[in-house]
C-alpha cells in the first residue's frame, strides 16, 4: 500500500497535463513538475504509514476479522472525519463530509461493528484516531 501511488496517479496526471497544455501551458507546467517530483516521496511516506498501521494493529490483536474491520471500516471513517475537521476549503470540506457520511453508514451497517461492546468500539475508535493523526 502506498508504493503503487505513482501508478495510480498516472492517468489523472496525464489528464491534467493535457488540460494544462490546452488552457494554461505556462502557469500549470511548474505545478505539474512539482507534483511529479513529490510523488516518490509521498509514495514512500504513505507506504511507511501503512506498514506502521499494520504492525501496530498486529500488536493490538491477532484476530483477522478485527484487523479487517479496523482497516476497511473504522480507519476510513475516522480518516475522513479528521480531514473534514482540518480543511477550511469549502469544496474539499463538502467532499470530505460526503466521504465521512458514506464511511459512517458503512461502519453502522457493518455486522462486525455490532459484535463489539461499546467499550471495545471506543477502544478501537481511540486507536484509529491516534493512528490517523499521524
Annotated domain spans of the chain:
1-60, 62-134
pLDDT exceeds 90 at position 84:
yes
User: CA-CA distance, 5 to 42, in Å (whole number)?
Assistant: 8
The position carrying cell 494493529 is 57
Q: Which one is predicted more confidently, 110 or 19?
A: 110
Question: Is residue 116 within 8 Å of 124, Cβ to Cβ?
Answer: yes
Could you give the C-alpha distances from 55 to 48, 52, 59, in angstroms and in order? Answer: 10, 5, 7
Q: Is the pLDDT of residue 124 over 80?
A: yes
Whether the pLDDT of residue 11 is over 90: the answer is no
pTM value? Answer: 0.79
Q: Is the pLDDT of residue 31 over 90?
A: no
Residue 120 makes CB contacts below 8 A (sequence gap 6+) with: none
Contact (Cβ atoms closer than 8 angstroms) between residue 5 and residue 24? no
Amino acid at each position: 500500500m502506498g508504493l503503487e501511488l505513482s501508478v495510480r496517479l498516472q492517468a489523472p496526471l496525464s489528464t491534467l497535463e493535457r488540460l494544462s497544455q490546452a488552457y494554461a501551458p505556462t502557469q500549470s507546467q511548474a505545478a505539474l513538475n512539482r507534483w511529479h517530483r513529490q510523488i516518490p516521496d509521498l509514495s514512500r511516506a504513505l507506504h511507511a504509514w501503512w506498514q506502521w498501521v499494520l504492525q501496530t494493529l498486529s500488536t493490538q490483536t491477532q484476530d483477522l476479522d478485527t484487523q479487517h474491520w479496523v482497516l476497511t471500516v473504522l480507519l476510513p471513517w475516522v480518516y475522513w472525519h479528521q480531514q473534514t475537521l482540518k480543511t477550511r476549503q469549502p469544496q474539499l470540506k463538502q467532499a470530505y463530509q460526503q466521504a465521512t457520511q458514506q464511511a459512517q453508514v458503512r461502519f453502522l451497517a457493518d455486522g462486525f461493528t455490532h459484535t463489539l461492546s461499546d467499550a471495545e468500539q471506543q477502544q478501537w475508535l481511540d486507536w484509529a484516531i491516534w493512528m490517523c493523526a499521524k
